[in-house]
Structure 1
Amino acid sequence: MQSLLASIRIAAATMLICVAGYATAVWAVAQTLAPDTANGSLVTGADGAIIGSRQVAQAFTQPGYFWPRPSAVDYDAAAAGGSNKSPTSPDVADRGLEMVERYGATPQNPLPADLAAASGAGLDPHISEAGALYQAARIAEARGLDPVRVEGLVRSGAFSPGGLLAADRIVNVLELNLALDAMDRARAE
């Protein structure tokens, strides 16, 4: 009986240290070093309502907005994951062809690969700078903006995630779309 009580005390102490203590320590460090990221990188509107997260893609389908990469999980963060289909799967090929048609790509104006293929988790909030620039003309026309202004917005929001070690630049789709809406508000004033 004494061994059983000792085992229960050790198990309880271990759970307290390894579960509660460790989780609290990780939470405290995250809140101290990167509170925005630790709290989900949430984006709020002027009214304080949560619009989305800088870390999770959303489906934008209107012509006046930048469109994200396709999602194998229909942009459902609770179901994050790839399609687990082979690159030779007819379903993957069909989705790629659907995206090529949606963007109106041609052999003379090929679609950047990231706009035709889903990311590994299906929730990548970024697209390549080339992918955003590919959409600039459509967005400028839909919003009545100068295409050069939209391209400038893309270039100013683009960054290299690997710093100097990565030549390819990416942009956050939600942030670009919010900047477009802000541009519209400024024009209306």
Structure 2
Amino acid sequence: MDNFKKALLSVITFTVFCGFIYTMVMTGICQVLFPNSANGKIIEVNGVKYGSELLGQQYTSDRYMWGRITKIDVSTYKDTEGNQLAYAAPSNLSPASEDYEKLIAQRVEKIRKANPEKGNEPIPVDLVTNSGSGLDPDISVAAAKYQVERLARENNMTKEEVNAIIDKCTNHKVLGFFGEETVNVLKVNLMLDKII
């Protein structure tokens, strides 16, 4: 019975400490030091929340930049005419499977059709594959630049204007050498729509 009391006391103590006290202290510290990140880096303009800088949103309309394939339900993302702007494509397919090979071939065909100016130029891999989490909000600079001609054509802009937007939405390497430069797809698309 003595061991049971000790075990029960341990469970209660660690539940209170780890489940409540630690959580509240860390939440408080993050809210004070990093409030934007702690709250999901939601992009809000004039009271309208457009999404999080931290979660991928897969756009399919030719007038928007396309990101990585996402694993979230985006069925509610529709334009003013009710057309779906995004889609979810969760996949646990092995890269060695025939189904995965067919899926990649479909994506390559779609991207080539939407970007005829690129001809047979190699497509950056992040435009045709999922990330490990399936939720990445960013793509490589090469993947963003691959879409410049289409975005300029579809939005009645010059390539220079589109490149300027991409440059503004580029996340640079930490301290100039850690990581890779990436482009936030949601920010680019909101700038294309002149929302931000």
In the superposition, the TM-score normalised over structure 1's length comes to 0.81
CA deviation vs aligned residue, 1:31-59 (integer Å, no higher than 9, x gap): 1221111111111232x132111010112
In the alignment, structure 1 residue 112 sits paired with structure 2 residue 124? yes
The worse-fitting range, judged by mean Cα deviation, of 83-92 and 116-125 is 83-92
Match of 1:92 among 100, 104, 109: 100
Q: In structure 1, the residue corresponding to 2:171 is in which secondary structure?
A: coil
- Distance in 1, matches of 2:29 and 2:36, equals 12
Decide whether the 8 Å contact of 1:70 with 1:118 is kept in 2. yes
Q: In structure 1, the residue corresponding to 2:21 is in which secondary structure?
A: helix
Corresponding residue for 2:144? 132
Corresponding residue for 1:66? 65
Residue 97 to residue 15, structure 1, CA distance change in 2 (3 Å) = same
Decide whether the 8 Å contact of 2:171 with 2:184 is kept in 1. no
CA deviation vs aligned residue, 1:80-134 (integer Å, no higher than 9, x gap): 9973332211222122111211111777311111111111111100011111111
Corresponding residue for 1:76? 73
Aligned residue pairs, count: 179
Residue 37 to residue 159, structure 1, CA distance change in 2 (3 Å) = same
Decide whether the 8 Å contact of 1:58 with 1:68 is kept in 2. yes
Question: What is the CA-CA distance between 1:9 and the residue it aligns to?
Answer: 4.7
Structure 2 counterpart of 1:51, which letter? Answer: Y
Decide whether the 8 Å contact of 2:67 with 2:137 is kept in 1. yes
Structure 2 counterpart of 1:55, which letter? Answer: L
Segments ≥4 residues shifted beyond 4 Å: 1-10
- Distance in 1, matches of 2:164 and 2:7, equals 65
Question: What is the CA-CA distance between 1:22 and the residue it aligns to?
Answer: 0.9
Corresponding residue for 2:45? 45
Identify unmatched segments of 5+ residues in structure 2.
75-87
Decide whether the 8 Å contact of 1:125 with 1:173 is kept in 2. yes
Corresponding residue for 2:24? 24
Residue 111 to residue 163, structure 1, CA distance change in 2 (3 Å) = farther
Question: What is the CA-CA distance between 1:7 and the residue it aligns to?
Answer: 5.6
Residue 4 to residue 103, structure 1, CA distance change in 2 (3 Å) = closer
Decide whether the 8 Å contact of 1:81 with 1:121 is kept in 2. no
CA deviation vs aligned residue, 1:148-182 (integer Å, no higher than 9, x gap): 11012112321234442247421000011111111
Higher helix share: 1
In the superposition, the TM-score normalised over structure 2's length comes to 0.79
In the alignment, structure 1 residue 147 sits paired with structure 2 residue 156? no
